[in-house]
Amino acid sequence: MLDLTPKEIVNREALRVNPCKTCQPVGAMYAALGVRKCMPHSHGSQGCCSYHRTVISRHFKEPAIASSSSFTEGASVFGGRSNLTTAARNIFDIYDPDIIAVHTTCLSETIGDDMGSYISDLKIPEGKHVVHCNTPSYAGSHITGYFNMMKGFMNYLTEKTGIPNGKTAIFPGWANPGDIRHLKKLCEAMKVRTVMFPDQSGIMDAPMTGKYELYPPGGTTISEIRSLGDCRRVIALGEFTSLEPAEHLEKKWKVPFDILPAPIGVDFTDRFIMALRRISKIEVPYDIEERRGQLVDLMLDSSQYTFKKKVAVFGDPDTVLGLTSLCLELGMLPKYVITGTPKEDFAKRARDLFEKYGAQDCLAKANADLFELHQRIKNDRVDLLIGTSYGKQIAKAEDIPFIRAGFPVLDRYGGPLLPIVGYTGGIRLAEKITEALMDRQDRDCKDEDLEAVM
* 126-169 per-position pLDDT tens digit: 999 999 999 999 999 999 999 999 999 999 999 999 999 999 99
* Domain, as residue range, for 211: 168-280
Give residue-wise pLDDT tens across range 416-444. 999 999 999 999 999 999 999 999 999 99
Query: In the prediction, which pLDDT does 2 show?
Result: 74
Contacts of 58 (CB under 8 A, 6+ apart): 408, 410
Do residues 307 and 260 share a domain? no
Asked if the structure places residue 248 within a domain, the reply is yes
pTM, entire model: 0.96
What's the rounded mean pLDDT across residues 190-212? 96
Find, among 156, 79, 84, 158, the residue nearest to 111 by Cα. 79
> What is the number of domains present in the chain?
3
Asked if the structure places residue 294 within a domain, the reply is no
% of residues, the chain, pLDDT over 90: 91
Do residues 328 and 368 share a domain? yes
DSSP secondary structure letter of residue 333:
E
% of residues, the chain, pLDDT over 70: 100
Alpha-carbon distance of 109 to 133, in angstroms, equals: 11
Do residues 266 and 390 share a domain? no
Flag whether pLDDT at 121 surpasses 80: yes
CB-hemisphere CA count at 13 Å for 202? Answer: 16
Burial (0-12, 13-18, 19+ Cβ within 10 Å), 176: buried
Single out the residue in 221, 251, 280 at which a domain terminates: 280
Flag whether pLDDT at 1 surpasses 80: no
Find, among 51, 59, 38, 2, the residue nearest to 316 by Cα. 59
Do residues 92 and 200 share a domain? no
Do residues 215 and 326 share a domain? no
Asked if the structure places residue 289 within a domain, the reply is no
Give residue-wise pLDDT tens across range 313-336. 999 999 999 999 999 999 999 999
CATH number at residue 243: 3.40.50.1980
Contacts of 203 (CB under 8 A, 6+ apart): 33, 34, 36, 62, 177, 216, 218, 219
Asked if the structure places residue 13 within a domain, the reply is no
Q: How confident is the model at residue 3 (pLDDT cuts 50, 70, 90)?
A: confident
Beta-strand ranges (E) seen in 202-350 are 233-237, 257-260, 310-315, 333-339
Do residues 324 and 265 share a domain? no
Do residues 104 and 173 share a domain? no
Single out the residue in 280, 314, 332 at which a domain terminates: 280
Do residues 244 and 114 share a domain? no
Single out the residue in 250, 280, 310 at which a domain terminates: 280
Do residues 173 and 192 share a domain? yes
Summary mean pLDDT of the chain: 96
Sheet with 333-339: strands ordered across: 363-365, 333-339, 310-315, 384-387, 402-404
Give residue-wise pLDDT tens across range 266-284. 999 999 999 999 999 999 9
Q: How confident is the model at residue 28 (pLDDT cuts 50, 70, 90)?
A: very high
Do residues 100 and 34 share a domain? yes
Asked if the structure places residue 4 within a domain, the reply is no
Asked if the structure places residue 97 within a domain, the reply is yes
Identity of the amino acid at 433? I
Query: In the prediction, which pLDDT does 13 show?
Result: 82
What's the rounded mean pLDDT across residues 115-132? 96
Flag whether pLDDT at 74 surpasses 90: no
Flag whether pLDDT at 454 surpasses 70: no
Do residues 313 and 337 lie in contact, with contact meaning Cβ atoms separated by under 8 Å? Answer: yes
Asked if the structure places residue 14 within a domain, the reply is no
Do residues 340 and 423 share a domain? yes
Asked if the structure places residue 73 within a domain, the reply is yes
Do residues 103 and 137 share a domain? yes
